[in-house]
Structure 1
Amino acid sequence: MADQHESIDLTSPPVDSSAAAGFNWFPAPPPPMYSCTLTPELVHKAREELQEKPEWRLRDVQALRDMILKEQPNLRTRLDDAFLLRFLRARKFDYDRAMQLLLNYHAGRKAWPEVFQDLKPSTVKHVLDLGFLTVLPQPDPAGDTSSVYAQVLHLYCRKWKPNDYPFVDNVRALYLTLEKLIQPEETQVNGIVILADYTGVGMSQASNPGPFLAKKVVSILQDGFPIRIKAVNIINEPRIFKGIFAIIKPFLKEKMAERYVLHGSDLRSLHKNVPCSVLPEEYGGSAGQLDLCSWSRVLLGCEEEFIVEFCQPDPLEGVVLPDSMLFEGEARGQDDDSFRGLRSQLYYCY
């Protein structure tokens, strides 16, 4: 087994954590050699929710590593403990499901070159600077809230207009954000919560992505990325959102569809789902004003890290994937037909 390991790079790429160091609300990435950074409270949470047993953790990682080396020896993927733990935690330490998730993770990159080719923060600086998405800072006090509540990804949907740049650039920025968010172990255990503000979203924004693009985005988030999405909170949604959700819902698994919560303009409803301590003043919270620039600085400061991670040869070259692989041959014509029907629904709601 040692000889096999020598033929594959098992170490994490060097990470410059200085960019995130200036934002004490975002933890630095773990070191290349695995050392558990979870608090006792999160260790307990991982045991209860993810079936993660600290005494078996490295044994489970080795089991997944052995599966990869045996079943996909040509797969150029990271095999270090910290990386593989992401997939085990996302699939509650089920080896087979974690293996499938890892393959989906790499297959998504191959199937969607518009998103993953030359993927680095500088190529989506216009999206980040615009404030289409940001990550809300966790509360800094010594209270327990900051360690047990999920990280909140905020989407300010009206910031994007179809004439400004292609929607796929938003997907690129979103993926980079998820890659950065999943590095700390606490996010792997707590997951993330999405807060999407649809204030001022009109027909042009709602109808632009379409089912074909929506299906790919949902496929990546549900089946191709090792992160737990605990809830999707929609705030200030217009009537047209019924049509938007009609595009998305057919591709959602039942459990994920149930995690969508529509609040309208009711902040009290939002506060029942997201603690006020993590919400900015704009949403009746106590975390100060909404800062749309800090996350941009975090990602742009990690340019070299993402070059190492994404701007490399295709990891699937020479790999034979199972027939049930994610993203295999979507029926584009069928999607176009369904889009025409859904577009009429959008106009009706609008």
Structure 2
Amino acid sequence: MTLVQPSAEQSIFIRKELNEDENTRDKDLEHIKEWLKRQPHLPQFDDDQRIMTFLRGCKFSLEKTKKKLDMYFTMRAAVPEFFANRDPTSPALQEIMKQVHIPPMPGLTPNGRRVIVMRASDLDQVLSGDAAAGMKLVLMIGDIRLKEESHGVAGDVYVFDAAIATPQNFAAHIAKFTPTLIKKFLICVQEAYPVKLKEIHIINASGIVDTIINLVKPFIKEKIRNRIVVHQDMESLYKAIPKEVLPEEYGGYAGDINSINEQWMKKVESYKDWFLSQEDIKADESKRPGKPKTHDDLFGMEGSFKQLSID
């Protein structure tokens, strides 16, 4: 099972963390659905589960949920490199699937958070895949989670294995990640998805990792930067994340990451028809009341570091 849902005890904690009131959440859901119907620039969208995930990610603030949904549909139109041609059987995505592991772990931490582990599948191979395709795949998994995190989670915890970031292959890797591409991806993640990013842990780090962190820091808010922890050893990681939700390769008990990742890639492929059916689920700026949003409104001038807003 790719996503184990929270236990009864975890659910109590998660509902408190997300400000979820079982007596009013259905009313909130209907409010958002009615609001969506009145927005001429937004698509017809009556996916209750995805809307509820947005409500939970916004801690049931109706105004924040509206803003987040508006940005979600806007980004789907504005960034075709991430949201168009999302066929998981395409050569570009198949290549990425072979070269990286990016699976959410099946279980949750005791406080109801989902752990996502990211690493290269082969440390001896310089990534040949397209960077935009890799980011597209991450967002595709994010869309699946919008549908399948049916009880919600109290936030996300990322573990980045930086073993592949060595001085020997740094130039070959970093050349694929332009500032413009990084900015677009981080704006999509932080502004368009109901993500509650709680912790970022980096393991197996070499000295070059500081350079990589400094590359992305201008695109994220200070409170997120303060959540980045570089670990010197695995014992340090275990103090932050229980072994029960880590894969075997990192001393955990959640199963081996190869099998977990393979299950996820099969799940992504099983969504092929759904992804293709979602191609037109995006904003139409020509119908937006008032002034349409432009590329500069969304991303700033090319090369500029627009400050992001994230809950």
Query: The TM-score by the shorter chain falls in which range?
Result: 0.7 to 0.9
1:331 aligned to 2:308? no
Structure 2 matches for 1:36-51, cutoff 5 A?
A: 40-51=8-19
Judge which range, 237-246 or 312-321, deviates more.
312-321
Report the CA distance shift for 1:276/1:186 in structure 2 as closer, same or farther (over 3 A).
Answer: farther
1:126 aligned to 2:89? no
Structure 2 matches for 1:203-282, cutoff 5 A?
A: 203-204=170-171, 205-264=173-232, 266-282=233-249
Equivalent residue, structure 2, for 1:92:
59
Other structure's SS at 1:188 match: coil
**Residue 176 of structure 1, CA deviation:** 0.8
- What is the TM-score normalised by the length of structure 1? 0.75
Report the CA distance shift for 1:317/1:193 in structure 2 as closer, same or farther (over 3 A).
Answer: same
Letter in 1 for 2:59: K
Equivalent residue, structure 1, for 2:31:
63
2:3 aligned residue (26, 34, 45):
26
Judge which range, 153-162 or 126-135, deviates more.
153-162
**Residue 330 of structure 1, CA deviation:** 2.8
For 1:133 and 1:61, locate their aligned partners in 2 and report how far apart those are by CA, in whole Å: 31
For 1:172 and 1:246, locate their aligned partners in 2 and report how far apart those are by CA, in whole Å: 23
1:302 aligned to 2:271? yes
- What is the TM-score normalised by the length of structure 2? 0.83
For 1:221 and 1:193, locate their aligned partners in 2 and report how far apart those are by CA, in whole Å: 14
Letter in 2 for 1:269: S
**Residue 130 of structure 1, CA deviation:** 2.4
Equivalent residue, structure 2, for 1:34:
none
Report the CA distance shift for 1:77/1:248 in structure 2 as closer, same or farther (over 3 A).
Answer: farther
Equivalent residue, structure 2, for 1:348:
none
Report the CA distance shift for 1:41/1:288 in structure 2 as closer, same or farther (over 3 A).
Answer: closer
Equivalent residue, structure 2, for 1:167:
131
Aligned length: 294
Equivalent residue, structure 2, for 1:153:
116
For 1:187 and 1:227, locate their aligned partners in 2 and report how far apart those are by CA, in whole Å: 15
1:287 aligned to 2:254? yes
For 1:314 and 1:48, locate their aligned partners in 2 and report how far apart those are by CA, in whole Å: 32
Report the CA distance shift for 1:300/1:64 in structure 2 as closer, same or farther (over 3 A).
Answer: same
Other structure's SS at 1:154 match: strand
Equivalent residue, structure 2, for 1:198:
162
For 1:200 and 1:334, locate their aligned partners in 2 and report how far apart those are by CA, in whole Å: 29
Aligned 8 A contact 2:41 2:289 in 1: no
Other structure's SS at 1:170 match: helix
Aligned 8 A contact 2:103 2:264 in 1: yes
Aligned 8 A contact 1:107 1:326 in 2: no
Tell me the alpha carbon deviations over residues 55-111 of structure 1, each in whole angstroms, 9 at most, x when there is no partner. Answer: 0011111222232233x1341141343221111111111111111100111111112
Other structure's SS at 2:157 match: strand
**Residue 112 of structure 1, CA deviation:** 1.0
Unaligned residue ranges in structure 2 (runs of 5+): 306-311
Report the CA distance shift for 1:331/1:187 in structure 2 as closer, same or farther (over 3 A).
Answer: farther
For 2:285 and 2:184, locate their aligned partners in 1 and report how far apart those are by CA, in whole Å: 22
Letter in 2 for 1:26: L
C-alpha RMSD over aligned residues: 2.8
Other structure's SS at 1:243 match: helix
Tell me the alpha carbon deviations over residues 121-164 of structure 1, each in whole angstroms, 9 at most, x when there is no partner. Answer: 223122112234223333xxxxxx67754332221147597772
Equivalent residue, structure 1, for 2:83:
116
Report the CA distance shift for 1:248/1:326 in structure 2 as closer, same or farther (over 3 A).
Answer: farther
For 2:249 and 2:265, locate their aligned partners in 1 and report how far apart those are by CA, in whole Å: 20
**Residue 48 of structure 1, CA deviation:** 1.7
Aligned 8 A contact 1:104 1:326 in 2: no
Judge which range, 46-55 or 145-154, deviates more.
145-154
Structure having the higher Rg: 1
Identity %: 24
For 1:62 and 1:185, locate their aligned partners in 2 and report how far apart those are by CA, in whole Å: 19
**Residue 284 of structure 1, CA deviation:** 1.7
Other structure's SS at 1:239 match: coil
Letter in 2 for 1:257: R
